[in-house]
Amino acid sequence: MFLLRKESPNFKHAPHIKSLLLLTFIFINFEAFSQEHFSALGETSFGLNKKVSETYGINFTLRSRYFLYKDEQLKYNQQQIDLYHFSKLKLDKRHSLSLGTYYRTRDLFNSGSNELRFTQQFTYKKQSPNMRFSHRLRAEQRFLKNKTIFRERYRFSLNLPINNDTYFIGALEGLLSLTKQTTLELDERSTAQFGWLLSDTLKLQAGLEHRLETFNIEPQHYVFVLTTAVINI
């Protein structure tokens, strides 16, 4: 995905930090910690953005995912390494189209099948003096060893400035997955992150994401500890 660049809008009135902390609790469903089917994972990403022209940009991201808590035990266990690319075409100030290619390595860690994925994405963004929000529609075709998954996703997100160099991002997302082998699957994701603009070319983000997977069949709860570094060139 494309992460925000430091072309920061001129926000006039940043919300109070207490409001941001409240939003964090709203976006993250902490009931997950008391559930039977619960795991905690870490996800570390490094992204590189390149603005090719005023309307076209590219992104490459390398991501590592690993278990921190599983089977009621604290332990480190590498799950996968992901590498993905997005090409983004800006239609106007609010609308954009993106195409992506994604490769996931799991065979190396004996944690499942490798995966090749293709993504098509449409994004609508709107900005006010105090925040920026966006709607994202995404279609994915996921090719695994023994099955193909067609997944549709909708995400609503907002970006709230704290000061000139710090911001908060919250997001809610629904996912629908279809395969020939299994019944329809429904997932939900809630994310809360803080970001720091360290320079014109570098920013860091950290936060939590709660995933409620296959809640229409057998609910599985996952909490992700997210850390991200992005360089704009």
- What are the C-alpha distances in Å from 55 to residues 4, 58, 119, 222? 15, 11, 19, 37
pLDDT tens-digit readout, 202-211: 999 999 999 9
Residue 157 pLDDT greater than 90, yes or no: yes
> Tell me, what's the pLDDT at 34?
47
Residue 227 pLDDT greater than 60, yes or no: yes
> Tell me, what's the pLDDT at 129?
79
> Tell me, what's the pLDDT at 19?
54
Average pLDDT, the chain: 88
pLDDT tens-digit readout, 182-191: 889 999 999 9
Per-residue pLDDT, averaged over 152-164, amounts to 95
pLDDT tens-digit readout, 29-77: 544 444 557 899 999 999 999 999 999 999 999 999 999 998 889 989 9
> Tell me, what's the pLDDT at 3?
42
Residue 165 pLDDT greater than 50, yes or no: yes
Residue 9 pLDDT greater than 50, yes or no: no
pTM, two decimal places: 0.85
Say how far apart CA 207 and CA 227 lie, in whole Å: 7
Residue 116 pLDDT greater than 90, yes or no: yes
Residue 2 pLDDT greater than 50, yes or no: no
> Tell me, what's the pLDDT at 11?
43
